[in-house]
Structure 1
């Protein structure tokens, strides 16, 4: 995937105001409109300009895009940094799906599906979505949205992704999280407004689950109640464990004699060490299931996941005369050809 420098596409600096962006887009859209332009590349340039404007005109999308920094160059091979949208708070009132469908793979990777400001927002619309966008509700907004100034209106729901440790899902935790919400400053530039919240992480929460914080979304208008904040849970990458739903896997190194003769060994889990039995004649890649030792159930009627210990056969190095002699003795003692299943001569 190639990086798109939307500022370069529009020929603007990153410090451009929203008015600068709108004015430049209108000029370029006229220049490259396929029905008006005689340039050979008018249509692709028109689409490119439209995509850049689709991001930079939107306070939230622009702020999310700017979070990745300016070290990338247009056309450079690019992968979004892991969890790049962690702690990015956005409002959920705009339905972006139909308009965004024509945009590039780069756009899709950033703003649709699992990332900030995209598909999640369109599927969980905030209450009274037409008014009060980005917490800037005022009488004119309400009049435009409702055909008159209502006595009160509820605030928008907000959304953000938070990344927690796997251990938090086993035990629950109290965490202080930092969120950044994009707003426009007095000069019309997108800036990030920060806040911190104390959050209870319930035991059994899993990746992709949403926690609702009542009243922590956008402000209401008049006597309207505040919207809610929905925190999407993501799990921080772990050095030992991988996660699939509620199931957890750990790769366990074993010596050849442990796999061949059987053994009892101690392995770590996110909830403390446990002892497991390795059956004799085990091979590398074998998965031993520890029922119910995965991510706990999130309620009394739920089902916990399982923990799998995947055996990885590790050979001791033949780095001494004694070790080499032991390998030679093993070779002579065992009538063993690991390639016997190959067709033809496997020697």
Structure 2
């Protein structure tokens, strides 16, 4: 398959940090999600955006992808120094194959453009099958859509043979119920919705595999949602109340006085829907300093430093 520039897909520079990548993904993900977008090729664009984020938000996957990009760049530099057409063609093919190997290692062999899989037997062999070919495909689902049963208009492609035995790809559209609490990798069987069989044999089945999309704000840990909660130093010291996002809206969270960086605060029942009980939202405190201070603020910080006897490194003195 052709090389895909995931930085270009998200519209960020190769030097972009994780925050910029999340911001770009969130913006484009909402723009192209097939549930809400009316844009042409929205589903295909959304899939590219989701794939780009899955690669670039992971430190390990991004490092591997960057190494692949660097090797590809070196290959192009070599091509500029060589005029052989065969060299150019072979080098490009090798680069695309390297990307194909990387792509399959991340998304699996089913991660091709159509995301469809079916048997490749000739049509006359299919005539002896008990039923038509099964079809498998992934479908992207937002975390928000797992909170309750939802019905989605699903489109996928099935292989159909004409009377001459030539295969055609036919688009099929169905309304499918996605159950509450659906998890990544969960398969839904759509009986009889696969490829038609030759003659009077029954059609195959279609298998939809849930692909939970990475969320720009939350990480998933079992049924719990993990959220990084930025606090100003004075909010952590004095305590406060802040609004925090959940999958179903904002809730108010009380921050106790003297809160520490890394401290985890729990909001019961605001995680993912579970079979026995809902998970929780777990907010981990991150102390964030302002990027700049005015003169009045500097004076107040200096007064605090002069009046406070607290030493965060006191335990070092015992060593």
Partner of residue 37, structure 1: none
1:322 to 296, 299, 306: 296
Distance 1:183 1:221, change over 3 A: closer
Partner of residue 196, structure 1: 173
Partner of residue 117, structure 1: 110
Partner of residue 51, structure 2: none
Matched residues in 2 for 1:110 and 1:184: separation?
30
Secondary structure (helix, strand or coil) at the match of 1:167 reads helix
1:240 to 198, 208, 217: 217
Contact 1:135 1:218 in 2 (8 A): no
1:161 to 138, 143, 166: 138
Secondary structure (helix, strand or coil) at the match of 1:336 reads coil
Structure 2 residue runs of 5 or longer lacking an equivalent are 4-46, 49-66, 71-96, 112-116
Shift of residue 184 of structure 1? 9.7
**2:63 maps to 1:77:** no
Matched residues in 2 for 1:225 and 1:332: separation?
83
Shift of residue 109 of structure 1? 4.3
Q: How does 1:112-191 map to 2 (within 5 A)?
A: 114-117=107-110, 133=119, 137-138=123-124, 140-143=125-128, 153-180=130-157
Secondary structure (helix, strand or coil) at the match of 2:293 reads coil
Q: How high is the TM-score relative to the length of structure 1?
A: 0.54
Corresponding pairs, count = 227
1:208 to 165, 170, 185: 185
Matched residues in 1 for 2:290 and 2:119: separation?
63
Q: How does 1:33-44 map to 2 (within 5 A)?
A: none
Deviations 1:209-265 (A, max 9, x none): 122222222223433322222211122232222223322112112222221222222
Matched residues in 2 for 1:170 and 1:237: separation?
16
Structure 1 residue runs of 5 or longer lacking an equivalent are 6-66, 69-75, 80-103, 119-125, 127-131, 146-152
Matched residues in 2 for 1:109 and 1:115: separation?
9
Partner of residue 114, structure 2: none
Distance 1:163 1:135, change over 3 A: farther
Contact 2:218 2:225 in 1 (8 A): yes
Matched residues in 2 for 1:314 and 1:274: separation?
21
Contact 1:109 1:115 in 2 (8 A): no
Contact 1:219 1:226 in 2 (8 A): yes
Matched residues in 1 for 2:226 and 2:250: separation?
14
Matched residues in 1 for 2:256 and 2:142: separation?
32
**2:206 maps to 1:229:** yes
Distance 1:242 1:210, change over 3 A: same
Matched residues in 2 for 1:305 and 1:178: separation?
31
Partner of residue 283, structure 2: 309
Q: How high is the TM-score relative to the length of structure 2?
A: 0.58
Partner of residue 86, structure 1: none
Contact 2:68 2:99 in 1 (8 A): no
Secondary structure (helix, strand or coil) at the match of 2:147 reads helix
Structure whose CA Rg is larger:
1
Moved more, 273-282 or 160-169: 273-282
Contact 1:175 1:201 in 2 (8 A): yes
2:261 to 284, 291, 295: 284
Q: How does 1:250-289 map to 2 (within 5 A)?
A: 250-289=227-266
Distance 1:333 1:137, change over 3 A: farther
Matched residues in 1 for 2:242 and 2:296: separation?
26
Moved more, 189-198 or 325-334: 189-198
Structure with more of its chain in helix, by fraction? 2
Deviations 1:251-299 (A, max 9, x none): 11222222122222221100121122222221112111223321102x4
